[in-house]
Structure 1
Amino acid sequence: MPSPSTDVVIIGSGPTGSAYARMIRRDWPEARIVMVEAGPQILPEVGGHLDNVLDLEKRAELEILAQGGDRSPRLSISKEEWEARRAGGFDASFLRRSGLYIANESDPSENLFAGFSAANVGGMGTKWSTGTPTPSEAERVPFIPADEFEAAIGIAEGLLGTNKDPRAGDTTAIALREKLGEAFNAGRSPDRTVRAMPLAATPGPEGLRYHGTDVVLGPLVNEPAETFQILAETICRRVVHEDGHAVGVDLVRAGETETFFLSAGTVVVACDSLHTPQLLFASGIRPEALGRNLNDHFIISQMAEMRSDPPMRAMNWIPATNEFPFSVTIHATTLSSIEKTPDFTGQPVGMGVFCPTDIDWDNRVVFDETKPDWRGLPSISIKWKPSEADKARVEEAKAVAIRVANIIGRPAPGFATIMQPVGSSLHYQGTVRMGEKDDGTSVCDRNSRVWGFDNLYVAGNGVIPTVTATNPTLYSTALATFGARQIAAARRTA
């Protein structure tokens, strides 16, 4: 059993929760920190990345465990359940081997939300793409000074271990970047030209080693339990609070029913954009904006055919700008399980055009206290629909995809340009968004402290208040550094 009290408890062990722990340790060396994770530790490396497991059969087994353990409610979704969800139903668990699917009130063919949620030590840090592109000026928080935000981005890059060109020397990728630059670089600032996709990865003789939260936590994992401890397979049922002050959390071991209380001087809720508002709701912390403004970007998927020798290995990136709202990733792929047409003889190249969607108050997460999920918390459903502007933007993104495919070589024969359901990017955000003032439109302040509380913080993509197209992990990690530094500064001098 853990100590009955700690200085800081962090609910969730993903990249932003781990960033809080690492930054608090940097600025408050004597702090006692406890991290709570609902799922199991699945790798010997605490929070290691699953893509480093080269045995694909073993990796598939671990991916099931990454969803909260090998429990039958989280096996692959069945055809019957899929049809039930399309008809508007949902059950108590979203953690599915093939993803999260929740039908909306209206036409599910248009508004189906599809996504995934992790529950294991490292959270989505065990499965993320490791892309760490920087957000454009238009995507950044307007009420955080530019120099402060830029400094936080630099800290976040260090925490995640960003490599700006992880496959340097890929001549085919460099040649493609030059061709793409001729088409897209005009009028861009030097930092937003076509470039290699920055990745949280380290090159090695056998390829890239992808960074999970093992890299973010660093030496913390070797500390004694008295100063840093991860409670795996432990569920937080409630943040206990009195008069705007969090006093601790109620916890329960997975598979058990008896809860225990952990007293804490500061509480950080760092689950994800769906489960962070869920825990606040279950704790009776229900500001008007909680779960509202659910936002994500569409992904327009395009397959292209490239004729090149040697084949491309690196990932290229066309950044979003104020004038170009799309973030385009271009990467080598394989079609081993997909039948190709006879005239498809070149290298298959995958593409994702990340397309922003409008922020809408009515797009939201809804909680049902009558239907507990596997954690014993109010179950979740999604209400979401696109705006007319979203639909027009999608058509523009499709045209961009075709244009890029023709620069690569040609659109791959036999493959259509498709729009994936919203949520497919796994980048949903906005549900605990930060705001400049406490006016009912946000959940937390610019340092991610929940309005009306002196020691309760939220973390993750859910705090991002802006429209984005860029992979948000670096962004949300940067925002986490503000809250962590505020906690350390306040508590060290208290």
Structure 2
Amino acid sequence: MNARSYPASVDVAIVGSGPAGAAYARVLSERAPDATIAMFEVGPTVSQPPGAHVKNIADADERARAQMQSEGPTPREAGDRVGGIVKTAERRSRPGTFLLEAGYRVEGEDGLPVAAMSSNVGGMAAHWTGACPRPNDGERIGFLDDSGELDELLTEGERLLGVTSDAFDASPHAPLVRGRLAAAVDAGRAEHARVQRMPLAVHRRDDGRLVWSGSDVVLGDETRGNENFALYDESLVTRVLVEDGRAAGVVVTDVRTGERHEVRARFVVVAADALRTPQVLWASGIRPDALGRYLNDQAQIVFAVRIRDFVPSEGAEGAAKTGLSEYSGVTWVPYVDEMPFHGQVMQLDASPVKLAEDDPAAPGSIVGLGLFCAKDLQGSDRVAFSDDEVDGYGMPAMTLHYTLSPLDHEVIDRAKAEIVRLGAAIGEPLDDRPFMMPLGASLHYQGSTRMGQVDDGASVCSPESEVWSAPGVYVAGNGVIPASTACNPTLTSVALAVKGARHIAEQLAG
């Protein structure tokens, strides 16, 4: 599947190998198998099959090497790993990601001080938690909901991501945690919005081992076996070619040799991430008014509690097989308009944010709670690009303009009170008060290439994800989501990618 000799032309060029880009490749492989597809990824291949989640790498040293290879043009040194308890607001990134080195905050604004990215085949999906909740209430995209499309697209996204809800059914304390949360939350909620198991992109093999989905699962055998598909790692797309007003191909630099190539294409899909997708468009001279605007992150409130009346169980011995000690699984508290935050409660070793040390005397007795807050969308929140300065890849340098509104502060205060209430329902808090992670910590950046129903200047692309001002150029990933969400956005972005890929497949067939 990996290739090195760049083609002169293809039908579809895909920039980025995360789950949204992979969804385009998969749907096109299924619906337009004769189409030639080239996928370009700036980072290296760090796992096998390409795009696999690094959590599936059994050897800890090998897993750490894969994470370090994903950390951009200037990766951390071997001894500079993130492993301490989260108690401060200092700038640091999670393993497998790298921080925006400059431009993350403008004086007088809040900024996104821990804005981070990954550069590797599979993108952030090689490092994510796998949470795939469906959006609810105001998180849903109204014009797709009204047409009845949204749920069908989400179902297809779940298929591509391999989403299940029963991976942690054997966890002995999961029913206790869910039951206590349900007693505190469920009254007055519709059934789909009640406390429940978190849908996760993970499946269990016959030998009992948990396998976490990355882009490899989205690509599937259908794409890997498609002789018309090729993946080019360590390949930096610097520009989308537009001729006579429509997509004509890409300019790509071989990171290993520095050689520059031009690859012609009928369609170009830019799925680089919510910060780098608008960067590529900007560098290409594709600069609609909404490009980079309505950028939004989810303020993240965290809290740790010890389960009340905890009774140690003999049934949580899965660590050797699964990489996790399966104590309490992952529980979901869905967003509702009346409580505009999304909640997840996770056993400590399932969470990427370390909140406490597990209790050696009573392992599994401590759980972490997290509430993600929906952002008040503002056109002034944006990623801007320089025509003079460049980043570590030689691309236009970014500056993030980002400010919490009075409504944001109100929602954050409500979330802090709510997480204390939920924690008390489960057990005893380990701290006196909850902690707000530095802005950008959620890694759920959205809105920068947002979708719109009409070309009114407030959106970058159509409902099919085609850029209004550049036909044949499509954008993909979390940046396309136009709604203010609190839930993990990957399922929604993959669902939108399915719609865009179908649109390309129809044109290829025509």
Q: Same fold (TM over 0.5)?
A: yes
Name the aligned partner's letter for residue 487 of structure 1. Answer: I
1:452-494 CA-to-partner distances (Å, cap 9, x unmatched) read 232110000000111110000001100111100010011111x
Do residues 12 (structure 1) and 19 (structure 2) align?
Answer: no
Q: CA deviation at 1:170?
A: 2.9
Structure 2 counterparts to residues 202-217 of structure 1, below 5 A = 202-204=203-205, 205-217=207-219
Secondary structure at the residue paired with 1:237? strand
Aligned residue runs from structure 1 range 57-456, under 5 A: 57-68=61-72, 99-100=99-100, 102-107=103-108, 110-146=110-146, 147-204=148-205, 205-223=207-225, 227-306=228-307, 307-310=310-313, 312-333=327-348, 347-412=365-430, 414=431, 416-456=433-473
Among 30, 33, 51, the alignment partner of 1:29 is 33
Structure 1 position 238, deviation (Å): 0.5
Deviation at 1:98, TM superposition (A): 5.9
Q: 1:26 to 1:75 in 2, by over 3 A?
A: farther
Tell me whether 1:458 sits opposite 2:456 in the alignment.
no
- How big is each residue's C-alpha offset from its partner over 1:409-463, in whole Å with a ceiling of 9 and x where there is no partner? 1111x46411112211000100000111111111001111000232110000000
Q: What SS does the aligned partner of 2:280 have?
A: helix
Cα distance per residue 1:346-383 (max 9 Å; x no partner)? 82211111111111111110111222223221011211
Q: Contact 1:459 / 1:480 at 8 angstroms: preserved in 2?
A: yes
Preserved CA contact (<8 Å) 2:104 2:112: yes
Residue 112 (structure 1) shift: 4.3
Judging changes above 3 Å, is the alpha-carbon distance between structure 1 residues 184 and 95 closer, same or farther for their aligned structure 2 residues?
Answer: closer
Gaps of 5+ in 2: 83-89, 317-326
CA contact (8 A) 2:195 2:334 kept: yes
**Shift of residue 169 of structure 1?**
3.6
> SS of 2:175's equivalent?
helix
Deviation of 1:107 (Å): 4.8
State the superposition RMSD in angstroms.
2.8
Mapped to 2, the partners of 1:387 and 1:446 lie a distance apart of: 28
Equivalent position SS for 1:186: coil
Letter in 1 for 2:458: T
The offset of 1:256, in angstroms, is 3.5
Q: 1:33 to 1:170 in 2, by over 3 A?
A: same
CA-CA distance at 1:235 after TM superposition: 0.6
Match of 1:90 in 2: none
Of stretches 263-272 and 366-375 in structure 1, the one that deviates more from structure 2 is 366-375
Inter-partner Cα distance in structure 2 for 1:336 and 1:324: 25
| Residues in 1 aligned to 2:204 and 2:462: alpha-carbon distance in whole angstroms | 38
Cα deviation for residue 55 of structure 1 reads: 2.3
Residues matched between the structures, number: 478
**Which deviates further from its counterpart, 115-124 or 394-403?**
115-124
- 2:366 & 2:176 partners in 1: Cα distance? 17
Task: Tell whether the 8 Å contact from 1:12 to 1:35 is kept in structure 2 after alignment.
Answer: yes
Confirm or deny: 8 A CA contact 1:40 1:69 kept in the other structure.
Answer: no
Q: How far apart are the structure 2 equivalents of 1:44 and 1:346?
A: 31
| 344-353 vs 414-423, which moves further | 344-353
Output the CA distance in 1 between the equivalents of 2:214 and 2:140.
24
1:360 alignment partner, SS class: coil
Distance 1:274 1:388 in 2: 25
C-alpha distance in 1 between matches for 2:458 and 2:162 = 34
CA distance in 2, matches of 1:222, 1:345: 41
Could you tell me whether the CA contact under 8 Å between 2:330 and 2:347 is conserved in 1?
A: yes
Q: Is the 8 A contact 1:173 1:314 kept in 2?
A: yes
| Letter of the structure 1 residue corresponding to residue 135 of structure 2 | P
The percent identity for this pair of structures is 37
How many angstroms does 1:72 deviate by? 7.1
- Contact residue 273 and residue 462 of structure 1 kept, 8 A: yes
| Aligned partner of residue 251 in structure 2, secondary structure | strand
Deviation of residue 255 (structure 1)?
4.3
Distance in 1 of aligned mates of 2:79 and 2:255: 18
| 1:97 shift after superposition | 5.4
Q: Deviations over 1:283-307 (max 9, x none)?
A: 0000001011110111001011112
Residue aligning to 1:468:
485
Query: In 2, distance between residues paired with 1:359 and 1:65?
Result: 34
Q: Per the alignment, in what secondary structure is the counterpart of residue 162 of structure 1?
A: coil
CA distance in 2, matches of 1:17, 1:346: 37
Which amino acid in structure 2 is aligned with residue 317 of structure 1? W
Instruction: Give yes or no for contact 2:236–2:254 (8 Å, CA) kept in 1.
Output: yes
Kindly tell me: are residues 345 and 75 of structure 1, through their superposed partners in 2, closer, same or farther at Cα, counting changes over 3 Å?
closer
Instruction: Report the alpha carbon displacement of residue 403 of structure 1 after superposing the two structures with TM.
Output: 0.6
Whole-angstrom distance in 2 between the partners of 1:181 and 1:269: 41
> 1:302–1:350: 8 Å Cα contact kept in structure 2?
yes
Query: Cα gap change, 1:74/1:286 in structure 2, threshold over 3 Å: closer, same or farther?
Result: farther
Letter in 2 for 1:327: H
Check the 8 A contact 2:373/2:411 in 1, yes or no.
Answer: yes
CA distance in 1, matches of 2:494, 2:17: 13
Q: What is the SS of the residue equivalent to 2:117? A: coil
- Gap runs ≥5 in structure 1: 79-85, 88-93
